[in-house]
Structure 1
Amino acid sequence: MAAATSLAHDLFGHVLMAGRPGERQEVAVARIAAVLVGSAAIAAAAFAGDLDVTSLLGLTLAVAASANLPAIVLGLLWRRLNGAGTVAGIYGGLATALTLVVFSPVVSGRVDPLTGASRSLLPRGVDFAWFPLENPALVSIPAGFLFAVAGTYLSRRRPDPESFAELSARATTGVGAA
């Protein structure tokens, strides 16, 4: 529901319709998006039906943390972080996590030692896994922090300590948020 609403309201309403969608149009797009997103989720679930649910949940959280944690933590604690650093941290952490998942034993190469059956997404005999861990978080979260710091230092935009202090005060107290 969140994905369908986001597609209808943000992508359709603000990007494609320049902020002026009709209510009926937005509801119709939300319904279509709900069907598409639901169908994609069902197809993904059918494809990954034999995998351990806790393993998939761990991968989901690792990918989300790799993209979001560096931006949130550095945004709260590091005065120098700017927009370029935030974007670099989000996309760098996300790309690192997704790459490591694709080349992990979750996707290929994991075999059950008792039965010899494949415990990966791909069938037995397909093995291109070079990343040894099943969960990428140990590597991808620190990589997200490194991308954020590198993006900040490589950016031409200089930090604004006054903006940081104002935003920090608003986030902490709520004063001036209206």
Structure 2
Amino acid sequence: MPSAGPVSLLRSRLESLLLVADEPTTAADFARLLGEPEEAVTAALTEISTEFSDRGMGFDLREREGAWRLYTRRENSATVEAKILDGAQTRLSRAALETLAVVAYRQPVTRSQVAAVRGVNCDGVMRTLTLRGLVKEVGVTGEVGGAHLYATTELFLEQLGIGSLDALPDLAPLLPEVDQIDLS
């Protein structure tokens, strides 16, 4: 573990960038922003991550798929959740949970495809999920008038505490294939 003395300017600047980063960032991107060699940035990120872990800090610096991000320590999830939920009604309605499940298992998917699976209009629910950052627009279909395509976000994965959609339970066989849904 590094000494308790002053940290390097590179490390100090990296820590500042990590605090304001709203998405995982690669060492190459940090290096470009800081005008530093990528190897030095990677070494500093690894040092920070190791120190946070060794000291049992309230947060972790994790690297996933070549990108780095600060996360709250898993052991503190109940405390963090209590703070987030304190005074705010953040529970999703049954309709929102159903819609989110359809999007998660059949993405990318259009609103009309989600509505066809659920059997009801889902425009309002999709807007709510988009505003909460759980679903995002990822493109348009190739058809005339191209309908918007939606998928889940990194926040969705973080909220579930999983690293990828592959970690979802195997429920997909219970849902109809998107291309088999009759939209007429």
TM-score normalised to structure 1 length: 0.27
* Higher RCO by CA contacts (8 Å cutoff, separation 6 or greater): 1
TM-score normalised to structure 2 length: 0.26
Structure 1 or 2: more strand by fraction: 2
